[in-house]
Amino acid sequence: MKGVPLNEELYNYIVSTFAKEDDILKQVVDQAASKKFPLIQISPENGKFLYMLIKIINAKRVLEIGTLTGYSSIWMARALPEGGKLTTLEINPDHAEEARKNFKNAGLDNKIELILGSAMESLNKLLSEKFDFVFIDADKTGYPAYFDKVIGVMNKGGLITADNTLRDGDVVKENADEGTKAVQVFNKKVANDQRVESLLVPISDGLTVCWVK
Ligand SMILES: C[S@@+](CC[C@H](N)C(=O)[O-])C[C@H]1O[C@@H](n2cnc3c(N)ncnc32)[C@H](O)[C@@H]1O
């Protein structure tokens, strides 16, 4: 195996050098903890990586599936140029309410639109739009269907990304849970789909990145 396995010291070096959270992002996490929301937001380096990808491809239209309380949305919306817009889909009204507060507090409520409801139903209403960048981070069992849906609304040169694709290492197991089985299907699907070039990037819990030809 090539590469340097991460230890605590190396990890902290990367985050403190390249992906420091400002007070707004820290507050999103602190508030989520004090209000007992699940602490399943992406890691800071993953946030910075999504930010970088959006900047690199000069994405103007971003779609997120799975908002939670808005931590990843804030990282991504900050990468958007003037006039850019992020649409984020969330099924849980409590998560959505907290996320909306956080977007306002971050001064990003003009750039972020949150649609409350089941992601698949919301996606069906967004099919007339085109997106440059998609981040999938909701129910894992939905990943293959989300890909099938969004591939039809992507601009050429856009990116479809999906979080937790290492599944804490379980992605290689045969007797995996339903979520992991769906991620296995998703990874195999995007690795073999001729419309995209894909790679599972081993950042955090794994981020699969698909470049749309
Ligand atoms: C892992 S969290 C998202 C974390 C967020 N992207 C972040 O990093 O800050 C997953 C979110 O997806 C939402 N979710 C789960 N199933 C969903 C569905 N079918 N449609 C829309 N949202 C869903 C959950 O309520 C939860 O808030």
Residue 49 within any structural domain of the chain: yes
Residue 196 within any structural domain of the chain: yes
Share of the chain above pLDDT 70, in %: 100
91 lines ligand 1 (CB under 6 A): yes
Residue 2 within any structural domain of the chain: no
Average pLDDT over residues 96-105: 98
Residue 1 within any structural domain of the chain: no
pLDDT at site 92: 98
Ligand 1 pocket test, pick from 137, 143, 204, 207 with the greatest ligand atom count within 8 Å of Cβ, gives 137
pLDDT at site 40: 98
Rounded Cα distance, 188 and 129, in Å: 27
* Res. 107 pLDDT band, cuts 50 70 90: very high
pLDDT at site 46: 98
Residue 161 within any structural domain of the chain: yes
> Distance between alpha carbon 82 and the CA centroid of its chain, in Å?
21
Per-residue burial over 126-165, b if 16 or more Cβ lie within 10 Å, else e, is beeeebbbbbbbbbbbbbbbbbebbbebbeeebbbbbbbb
Residue 169 within any structural domain of the chain: yes
149 lines ligand 1 (CB under 6 A): no
Residue 3 within any structural domain of the chain: no
Q: What is the CATH number of the domain that holds 170?
A: 3.40.50.150
46 lines ligand 1 (CB under 6 A): no
* Res. 157 pLDDT band, cuts 50 70 90: very high
pLDDT at site 140: 98
Rounded Cα distance, 143 and 165, in Å: 10
Domain range for 88: 8-212
Residue 119 within any structural domain of the chain: yes
Question: What is the Å distance from ligand 1's center to 92 Cα?
Answer: 8
Rounded Cα distance, 131 and 151, in Å: 9
Q: Tell me the whole-structure pTM to 2 decimals.
A: 0.99
> Distance between alpha carbon 30 and the CA centroid of its chain, in Å?
20
pLDDT at site 42: 98
25 lines ligand 1 (CB under 6 A): no
Q: Provide the pairing of β-strand 61-65 with 196-201.
A: unpaired
* Domains held by the chain: number: 1
Cα dihedral 179/184/189/191 (nearest 10) = 130
DSSP 141: G
